[in-house]
Structure formats: C-alpha cells, structure tokens
Amino acid sequence: MFNKLFSIKVHLCFLILLSSYRLSSQNNYAEIITNHSVRSEALISIVVRVLNEDQSINTSVSSNFELIASPAILENDIIKIHRGVGSVTTKVYASEDFEISIGNLVGQKTISVSDNTPFVQISGEISSNTNWLSDSIIYINNHLIIGVGATLTIGEGVRVFLGEKVNLIVKGKLKIVGISDKPVIFQPYDQDKPWGGISFSNINDTSSIDYCFFIYGGDNEEYVFGHSNSQPVLMITNSALELQNTFILDNPGKAVGGNHSVIKTEDCIFSRSDTGGEYHFCQINISGSYFIDIPNDDGISIDDDNDASYFYGLYTNAIQSSVIENCVFFIGKDDGIDHNSANLLIKNCWIEGFDHEGIAASNTNNITIYNTLVTNCDQGIEAGYGEPIVVIDHCVLVNNDVGLRFGDSYNWGCEGHITTTNSIMYNNVDNILNFDLLTQGSVENAIDISYSMTNDADYDNYPNCITGVPLFNENYILLPESPGNNMANDGSDLGLIDLSLSVYDNLVSNVEKFNVFPNPLRNDCRLSFNLDKNADILLQVYSSSGSLVYEKNFKNLKAQKHSIPFRNKLKSGLYNFVLLFNNETVATKKVIVL
C-alpha cells in the first residue's frame, strides 16, 4: 500500500506496544526476561511476554504454560499467562548452564551457573558518584544510604542481595540500567528472610529504573505506609521516579508507595505483592503495565485494602489528572483501581476479576473512564460516599454482580454524580444500581445515562438508550451485526472503540497543521493543511477495520496554505484520513462521520 518506509499498522486497543527484541519470526514467540546467571541452588524470577511479529503483546494468549529448564530442575514449573503476560518466582537446582523455554511457545533464554563469582559487601553511605559494574554481585548487609548530591548507577546484569529487613535509602539519585538480556535483580541474601525496601527523598532530581526485578521485599515493619500496614518495596516521598520494564513480584510488602511525588510507570509488571501501588497526593502516569494476582493467587478471600492501585488526594499545583492507560488489571482481593479525592483519567484498560470494585470512586474530585472493560468483579464501576464526579464513556461492564453502582457499603451518604455515555451494561446480576445505605433508597438525579445499552428497566428509556444482546469479539468490541453498532453519539459503536490505524513511523514535515473541519462531520467538510513545497498530494480514507474506502489525487499543489472541499460519501463511523506527499505518508487525522 505504501512504500517500505511508511506503513499503517492495525491493532486492537488492548494490544500494548512494547520495546523488545524479537525471538522468532513466527506468530507467537516468547520474550523471556530473567537472571542471566544464577548459583547452582537459587531463587529465580521469570517474566514472559507473548509477542506478535510487530512486537505487540498477543493478548489472545491466556493459559497456564509449562516452564522447561534443561538440564535443571524448577520447584515450580508452571507459569500463568494472562492476556499475553505472566511471571513466576521459583527455586532452581542446576549443576551446569541451562536453557529456559515456555511450553510450545517459540523462544528461549540461556542461563549460566556459577557458585564462585565473588561479591562485594557494602553498607553505610555512598557520598560520591559510584558505579556498580555490569554483572557484579553486591551484598548489602546493613542499611545503605546514597547521600545528597551522589548518584549510584547500577549496570546491566548486577545482582543485589540484601540482608533481612535491610533498606537502601536514596537521598541523592539512583539509576538502574538493566537490559532485557541482563536485568538487574534485587532479592534477599537468605530467601527465608525478606529484605526491606528502597526509599527516595530527593526533591531536586529524578531517579530511574529500567529492566529490574524486585522480589521478596517490603518486610520492615518500621517503614509501613498506607493501607494494609505494609512497607513499600519502592517508597517515593517528595521526590520523582521513572520506572520502565520493572517487575515487582512476590513481595510481602506493597509494590510502590508514593507521597507528594511524581511517578511515571511504563511497561511494568506488579504481581503477588501486598498492594500494587498506593499514592497519596501524587502525580501518577501508568501506561502499558500489568497488575496480576494482588496480593497473591492462593484463592483465599481477605479484606485488607489490598488494591491493585489506590489514589488519594491531589498533587500540589497539579495541572492535569493522573493517568492510567493501556493497562491490564487481573484478579485481586479488593479493588482494581480505588479513587479517593484524586483527579484521575483511566483509558483503554482491561479490568477483570476483582473481589470488590473494578473501579471505585469516593469522597471528592473527579474520575473519567474511557474505552475500558470491567468484567467479573463484585461491582464494575462505583461512585461511593462523598461527592465524587464520575464520567464514563465508551465502556463495557459485563458479567459483574453489579455493573454500574451509585452508592456503597458505607452509611456515610452519597452525593456525587455519574454521567455515562456510549457504554454497554450487559449480563450483570444487576446492570445498574442506585442505592444509598444511609437513606436506604435511591438518590434522585444521581445517574445520567444516554446513548447506551442499559438493559435495565429504570434506564432503558433514557435519551437514546437501547436494550439488546450485544455481540462481542474476543476483545469485547461489538461485531458489525450487533445491536449498538454505529449508535454512539460520536457516530461510532457503543462500548469499546477499536483504536485502529495509527502511524508509528516518524512523519516528514512537508505538511503542517492538517485538519478536517468540522469533525464530527455530517455532510461536506474541508481539508486544510500548509504545504512547504510544490507537490502531488494523495488523500486516502480508511475505515476503522483498516480497509481503504476512498482515494483522491490532488496534482501540482503549490507551496501554500490549502483548504480543499471534501464531499462526504461515507457511512457513519470512525475513519482515518491520510495524506501522502509524493507517495510518502506525512499526516493523519481521525474523523468521525455522523
């Protein structure tokens, strides 16, 4: 369709893109991230991402797979993969180098075995810039402080062992620079005696962590924080931290704690830890990350506020909401996301299997939830006590006990509001519930619903609402023949939107300020753009499924501002308008046709 330098890639909204090397040209291959070297008898954590050829996660893969270690023995040889991602921590017994592979998936990782590698023992304070060289082994036998003004850089493949309840205290700056082949590992020196955590308290600088495992930490009772009275493995106070490809697994403490801080999290995995993350008065951005089995996968119900993510209050001078996008939340014993007086935007997420709420909102301030699935939870989305303002658009709430709830299990009174558009409530025991425990009745005008499939007698006649049996694909996006197709107020389908058609290559700058007005459009519109040199321009229009539906050439356009009429002959729906400059893609614009 285009030349080899440019392409349009079609992908589902939940196929989270990752930076990772390919292990095979076949359709399903396993990226295996684990220790590059171990002792003959040692703990080992393994992360697996099942990837497509374009290196996106294959979210269709959800199953248990056999872990094969040849010629070694694993105490636990099963890894649970959900929506393409899984992890396990186990003990390995090996007398020689061995190879890890995953069931019938393509891909393997070779691990060397050595009991003779010397280690450096350290404690006290680091007062100047220090590097821990690649592949070294460090034993922190007592609390270690990175002093003000000092930077500790930890190179690829470093293994850090910590004594019982020992902490790393960062008053300066920490940089962990692992890579996929050689991640950095933090683990206890004695696996039966968990270590403490890492605390950050530098308001003037940003620490960073990339490709690092943290296991069996968060067990120092002197450093507990927040709900469930546990120590965070990573605690950020009046500071800033950036996490990429960080795997916080199998910890007695919570994964992350934040207090008056700025935290950015990309492509990380939080699993089998007391809480995924708890943030007080923080600015948070989480993308492309997985929260699985919080706090564990033993199947025994508890009620100890073990949320996958908890947000409380507003960051000082915050100019925007905290954001969670393109994330998967799978199985937890409390809430998937708990909002309490925060400003929060959730978009393009998959939330499944939480004992309480998939998303709970309470107290004050705002939460907006867009293009998100909540399924198999006690309650899908809840506006609880206080005055939370909840805005829901293009969401699917299916197979929960309660789909959409105004009210909660406290008798503190509920005075907030829910506005829902373009969404689907289906096959919940109760699709929509309005009940305040304090007043023992419904709250008048608490829920506004329009352009939605409610399947609830109390709301079926709200503006442009319908009833029906939705027909979904495997990603809970409506099939073309389903009720609700093309019935959203933006001309797209009800429920989840397939965010197809994105240009990932860097576009050349010969076209500037490409706009389509009006957007959404009903009849005619105009295409406007600035052209910096004379050229032929080709307009191509693609449907949401990636099909080319319209094409037109504009020959010998001059280097100037152009405003070109376009007569709409398109059916209602979501389209991608693409401009090609001398046969190279230079600009795209998503357009809704009503």
Q: Are 261 and 227 in contact (CB under 8 A)?
A: no
Q: What is the mean pLDDT of the chain?
A: 89
Higher pLDDT, 179 or 17: 179
Decide if 8-113 and 506-593 have a common fold.
Answer: yes
How far is residue 316 from each of residues 207, 259, 487, measured CA to CA in Å? Answer: 20, 11, 41
Domain 145-355 annotated CATH 2.160.20: yes
What's this model's pTM, rounded to 2 decimal places? 0.82
Lowest mean pLDDT: which of 159-173, 245-259, 389-403, 519-533? Answer: 519-533
Domain 8-113 has CATH 2.60.40.10: yes
pLDDT at 504: 27
Say which residue, 203 or 532, is predicted with more confidence.
Answer: 203
pLDDT at 513: 65
d(CA 142, CA 121): 10
- Residue 10 is predicted with a pLDDT of 26
Section 483-493 average pLDDT: 89
Task: Give tens-digit pLDDT for 63-119.
Answer: 999 999 999 999 999 999 999 999 999 999 999 999 999 998 999 999 999 998 889
Q: How does DSSP classify residue 348?
A: S
Per-residue pLDDT at 502: 34
265-322 pLDDT, tens digit each: 999 999 999 999 999 999 999 999 999 999 999 888 888 899 999 999 999 988 889 9
Indicate the CATH number for domain 506-593: 2.60.40.380
Instruction: Report pLDDT digits (tens) over 390-437.
Output: 999 999 999 999 999 999 999 999 999 999 999 999 999 999 999 999
Q: Name which of 203-207, 238-242, 378-382 the model is least confident about.
A: 203-207
Q: Locate tokens 């369709």: which residue?
A: 1
Q: How far is CA 315 from CA 210, 277, 308, 344, in A?
A: 25, 16, 20, 11
- Strand pairing of 98-102 and 561-567? unpaired
Does residue 211 contact residue 186 with C-beta atoms inside 8 Å? no
- Residue-wise DSSP of 266-289: ES-EEEEES-SEEEES-EEEEES-
pLDDT over 70 at 545, yes or no: no
pLDDT in tens, 124-177: 999 999 999 999 999 999 999 999 999 999 999 999 999 999 999 999 999 999
Nearest to 130 by CA among 172, 180, 185, 189: 172
pLDDT score of 109: 95
pLDDT(38) > 90: yes
Kindly list the domain boundaries of the chain, sorted by start residue.
8-113, 145-355, 506-593
Higher-pLDDT residue of 139 and 517 is 139
Q: Which residues, at least 6 apart from 73, have a Cβ–Cβ distance to it below 8 Å?
A: 92, 93, 94
pLDDT at 481 over 70: yes
